[in-house]
Amino acid sequence: MYIKVLSESEKAQLKQRARRIKELQEQGICFGCYNFETDEIFPSEGLIIYEDDKVRCQFERFPRSTGQTTIVSKAHYEDISEMPLELGTHILKVSNAIIKLHKEIIGAEKVYMSTLCDGKRNHLHFSLFPRLKGESIGFKNFVKDDGFLMDYHKEVDIYRAKMKKLL
């Protein structure tokens, strides 16, 4: 699994995704709920590493870091302030398992977790940003250029199998 620099076509795809999210938000439509129905905004494309009745976890197709993972609540909540504590506990348990696997499988030294639910209409989600050996420490990992995830299928299979054992 590795990240390559975006081609012009991939840059256009990423811009189209951002436009579509904004368009849905302006219509009062939650893009997260919409994506669960259509798989249009964040196509799964074999990127899902774990899913249960509460969350979906998948590698980001246009990541800022190798192994960047998004954990999305299946139920709609605008942000963390609306999230029931039981869901928060579940998300933390799932995140902990993924972080352990990021360290084991891709050699992450640290994994940063953030939630940036912003805009007119949003959907609760968390992002995990692995920091690999030799990469800069701290906030710079959140503002790296987007890339395009390549050759990830083997890792997805490994994560899926190990997540079943951990959870």
The conformational region for residue 83 under phi > 0 = left, psi -120 to 50 = alpha, else beta, is: beta
- For residue range 75-93, what is the model confidence (pLDDT) as tens digits? 999 999 999 999 999 999 9
Residues 81 and 73 sit within 8 Å (Cβ to Cβ): no
CATH number, span 2-166:
3.30.428.10
Q: Output the pTM of the full model.
A: 0.93
pLDDT at 166: 95
Bridge partners (DSSP) of residue 71 are 57, 126
Is 100 buried (19+), middle (13-18) or exposed (0-12) by CB count in 10 A? middle
Bridge partners (DSSP) of residue 97 are none
For the chain, which residues make up each domain, given as ranges? 2-166
pLDDT at 84: 98
pLDDT at 136: 85
What is the C-alpha separation between 13 and 43, in angstroms, rounded? Answer: 12
Q: How confident is the model at residue 143 (pLDDT cuts 50, 70, 90)?
A: confident
